[in-house]
Amino acid sequence: MPPLPPDEARRRLTAARIARLATVRADGGPHLVPVVFAFDGEVVRTIADPKPKRGLDLLRHRNIAANPAVSLLVDEYEESWQAIWWVRADGEGRVVEEGPERDATIDQMRAKYPQYATHRLEERPIIRIELDRLIGWGPELRG
C-alpha cells in the first residue's frame, strides 16, 4: 500500500467521523475506545462521555494523566483491498477540564457533529492531542 501525501492524510483525518483512541494503562496494557473528534490541522480534540461507563472514561483520562502517549487511527475498509486506506496520528494527550480551549472545542464539535446539538457538553472535560506524527497509507484517489 502506498503512503498518502501528508496533505491528503490530514484531509482524511479531518473528514473522518470516528477514530479509535489508544492509550496505555498503568499496568502497561493498551486501552482502546472509539471516539468522535475534531481536527483543525494541528490538534485533535475529543469530548468525554458524560457518564462513566463502568469507569471507562475515567480510565482513559487516568491513562493520559500518567502516560500522555496516545495513538489515533481512522480507516476505511473496502472489500476491494486496493481501496483500503488508513491514517494514524501519534501524539501527546492532555485532559483539559475547563477554560477557553474546552469551550472552543465544544463549538468545534457541535459544528462537525449536529448530533451534539441536543447534548449538554458544558460540564465535560476534553482531551487535547498534540500530534507528533501523522501518517497515512492507501491509494491517493478514493474508490
Interface with a second copy (CB under 8 A): 1, 17-18, 20, 22-24, 27-34, 53, 67, 69-73, 75, 77, 79, 81, 84, 86, 88, 90, 115, 137
SS3 for 100? helix
Please report which residue ranges of the chain form alpha helices under DSSP H: 6-15, 56-66, 100-112
**Smallest distance, a second copy to C-beta of residue 100, A:** 27
Q: Please identify, using beta-carbon distances, which residue of 16 and 126 lies nearer to a second copy.
A: 16
Q: Residue 101 phi/psi, 5° resolution?
A: -70, -40
**Smallest distance, a second copy to C-beta of residue 56, A:** 9
Q: Please identify, using beta-carbon distances, which residue of 90 and 101 lies nearer to a second copy.
A: 90
What residue has cell string 459544528? Answer: 111
Instruction: Look at residues 39, 41, 35 and name the one whose alpha carbon lies nearest to residue 6.
Output: 41
Q: Please identify, using beta-carbon distances, which residue of 99 and 117 lies nearer to a second copy.
A: 117
